[in-house]
Structure formats: structure tokens, C-alpha cells
Amino acid sequence: MRNPRVREAVFRIRLRSSLTFKHNTTLNRGRIGVECRFACYAILMGEIHSILGNRAAPSRSDGPGRGKRVVVAMSGGVDSSVAAYLLAEQGYEVIGVTMRLFAVTDENAARLNRSCCSIEDVDDARDVCRAIGAKHYFMNFEKEFKKYVVDYFVSEYERGRTPHPCLACNDKLKFEFLLRRAQFMDADFVATGHYARIEQHEDEWHLNRGVDPSKDQSYVLFTLGQEQLSQLLLPIGEFDKDEIRRIASKAGLPVADKPDSQDICFIPSGDYKAFVEPRLTVKTPGNIVDSDGVVLARHDGVHRFTVGQRKGLPLPGGSPRPLFVTDIDADKGRITVGYAEELLRHRLAAGGVKWVSGVAPDSGARVEARIRYHGADIPAFVIPEGDGAVVEFESPQRAITPGQAVVFYDGDRVLGGGMIDRALPEVDTSDRFPGRISLRAAGRGHAFEGASAKTL
């Protein structure tokens, strides 16, 4: 089958068949075979006619997308819906895809609502596609999501690290597996509703922040490389959130007033401990100690803690000042606690570092670095070391958390980033930062005591 559109039709048959078989396991094998042969023939004829016909159909405008096909990842929310609408208005042939990612085993939830892509979300995405004249497909990515997001999420907590599941989901699900499916469907591009921008400068693609600083999502896109950026469209990055809702309302999209999702999509309750514990493959209890190694208490497992945590520590009373988790040693099951100033560090080591350009700076680079999603951008110096890097900050950073991302910026442009492995001991970097703020000058024991310890 050399024709990619025919391959797409066969792909759809396989997808439909897999969903049908999943819900008809009581049928005997012979009956399934007979039904499948008739169903596949009918679907094949319909899909080939639909694909070949729609590909040649005139676009609604003479915009930049005329004659080009784009697969839009649609969650059923307003952002991805407006992304699809804007692309349709530009003349693209839009195909909406909603990914089934995870089935929530909540017996109190409605039967059809036990997934992070609820039946209501799927219906919303389908209704938007119907409104803009686009096709819509519901694809099952549960197997991939479990392996690359859920299993990663749990294993990171087992290792005493604090994961960022959105990074894993973007990296593997949206910008690898969905991109492959889109290519199989003869699409020219994939699009998402992320608040970020892509620009081409001569032969290089740049990833930039979204224009709305309160919604900017470039932090979770640092893993994108040149090939992916060349095939990706981010149509809402030029707008702020209020504009997106106005566009949705003016276009009559049924999701114009739909609230934004807030929590980790596969943990709607927000209780990550209750989610992680039954999925642990190893549980590491141990001691809680102070910075001098004095045992203060016992704990049930390192997965219950994150660097910077203050609330919920099983400690006896009597401390003159609040105590925070300052270090987690998963191998020994040891949780170290200390005062707020013990969370401050100027340096970190990162692994799995990726550079958007594909090329690391030879001798390091001055950047602005961010160590959490809604954190500040801090002047820093990045020193590449193999597939990792050492990052030195101009001012001390609170609660450098293993498992979270450190992302490098040059103004609005994303240069790259990596995953934080550990905070590093203090050394003198005043030659790189003559005006460097010392730990003492940062306000030892006072400036950070009231800060939130939540890192997810």
C-alpha cells in the first residue's frame, strides 16, 4: 500500500477494530472474524472515499494553510479548541484527535467518566470539530501513557524524586507517538493548544515563550528539537487567555466558558500519595534525621516526601523553628530535615539535558534559568558536561528539587533544559558573578519560612 491515504484508512480500521474487540471479548473467535471481514470492507470503502475526497476538497480560505493537513491534539478544553478553529480559519484541513490516556479506577465515578479524558471532554472536542467542519477521532494511548507517564511518575517517587508528568506526556505522547500517527495519516503538521511560539530564523527553528506570561507553557516544551519544531504548530501562543475565550465565544464554540483543568489529569482528587502507594514496586522506610545525623523519627517510605516539604512531617514537637525536608536519600531510606536557610543553594547538577538548536555551547553560556513551572527566571551560568550540565546561579535558590526541570532562556527564547539530579555543595563562583548574593545576605532563616513547599 504505497498510497498514504489508503494506509490511513487501514490504520483507522485497525483502531476501530481494536476498540470493538476490547468491548466484545465474550464473542467467539469465529463470529468476530466474520463480523470483522464485513465491517472492515465497509469501513475501508467509506474511509478511502472520505480521505481522498476531503484531501482534494477546497479550503474555506486562501490562507497559509490551504492544501495542508494538520492533526490537532484536542482535550476538549477551550485552548485546543481555539487552536483547531484558528487553523481551520487559516485554510488548513483540520483533523481533531482526542487521546484516551488513563482509566481512573474510581468506583464512585460515573461509569463513562473514569478517565482523564472524560466522555464529556470527548463530546466537547467532537462538537467543536463538528462546528468547524473538521473530522474527529478518539485514539487509545493508554498503553503508552501507562509506560511513559504513570510508571515514570511512580518510579520517580520510589527514587525520592519529585516528577513532572506533563513533561513526560508532552515528550512521548504528543510529540513522539502522536506525531507518528499524524505522519501515518498523511498530515503535514501536528498542533496543540500550548501557550508558546515557534519562529523560523534562517535555517533554525526557535521556541519562544507565549505572549501571556501568566499562561506561558514553554517550560514544559524544552525537550523539543529542530525536527519536531518544523512539524509543530502552536497557534494560540500569540494570544492571552482572555483573547482566547473571546475568540471561542465569537466563533460560537461550545467550550468558550469551560473552566480550565487544574490538577494532574490522571489524579483528579489531587492526592498523589493515594495514587502512588498501591502502584509501588518497592517501599523504602527509614529514619528522619537532622543536619547533624541525629535520628528524630521513623517514616513509612521516601515516596511520601519532597525537598522543601514542611507540612505532614511525622516529627515530634518542640522544634524552635519550622523544619523542612532538605535531602532525600532513597538508597538508605533517609530523610534529612533542617531550617529554611539549609534549603538554599547556588548550584545544581542536571541530567538528560537537551538543546533546542541541537548543539550545546562549547564553553558554557550565560542564561536565565528557571527551576519550577511558575518560578522566576534567575541569571545563571550553564556548563555542559556530557549529556548533563552544572548550573550556577547568581543568587541562592530555595528547594532545588530532584526530578523537576531546569530550563534555560535567552530573553523569550528557550535554549534548552534538563532534569534536576541534585543540589551541589557551595563553592566560590564570585569570579563569574561579581555581585553574587551570599546565603547570609539572602536572609538566613527568615526570608523563606512562610514559603509554600508544594512543588507539583
Identify the DSSP state of 112: G
- Record the cell numbers describing residue 325, joined without a space: 525536608
CA atoms of 307 and 159, how far apart (whole Å)? 13
Please provide residue 270's backbone torsions phi and psi, each rounded to the nearest 5 degrees: 80, -5
CB neighbours (10 Å) of residue 19?
14
Residue type, 38: F
- Record the cell numbers describing residue 87, joined without a space: 487553523
Would you call 169 a catalytic residue per the annotation? Answer: yes
- Record the cell numbers describing residue 446, joined without a space: 527568615
Q: In Å, how far from its chain's centre is CA 31?
A: 42
Please provide residue 431's backbone torsions phi and psi, each rounded to the nearest 5 degrees: -70, -30
CA atoms of 242 and 78, how far apart (whole Å)? 11
CA atoms of 229 and 214, how far apart (whole Å)? 23
Please provide residue 451's backbone torsions phi and psi, each rounded to the nearest 5 degrees: -75, 150
Pairing of the two strands 69-73 and 189-191: parallel
Q: Are 60 and 131 in contact (CB under 8 A)?
A: no
Q: What interhelical angle do 29-56 and 4-22 show, nearest 10?
A: 140
Sign of the Cα pseudo-torsion (302, 306, 309, 312, in order): negative
Task: Write b or e for each residue in 338-371: b if 16 or more Cβ atoms lie within 10 A of its Cβ, otherwise e.
Answer: bbbbbbbbbbbbbeebbbbbeebbeebbebbbbb
Which residue out of 116, 117, 129, 169 is catalytically annotated? 169
Would you call 265 a catalytic residue per the annotation? Answer: yes
Outline where 119-240 has alpha helix (H): 119-132, 142-145, 151-158, 165-168, 178-184, 226-230
CB neighbour list of residue 179: distance below 8 Å, 6 or more residues apart = 190, 228, 231
Scan for cell 464485513, then name that residue: 38
- Record the cell numbers describing residue 341, joined without a space: 536557610
In a 3-state reduction of DSSP, which class is residue 378? strand
Q: What interhelical angle do 78-89 and 119-132 show, nearest 10?
A: 20
Scan for cell 478511502, then name that residue: 48
Which residue out of 116, 117, 129, 265 is catalytically annotated? 265
Give me the active site residues, please.
169, 265
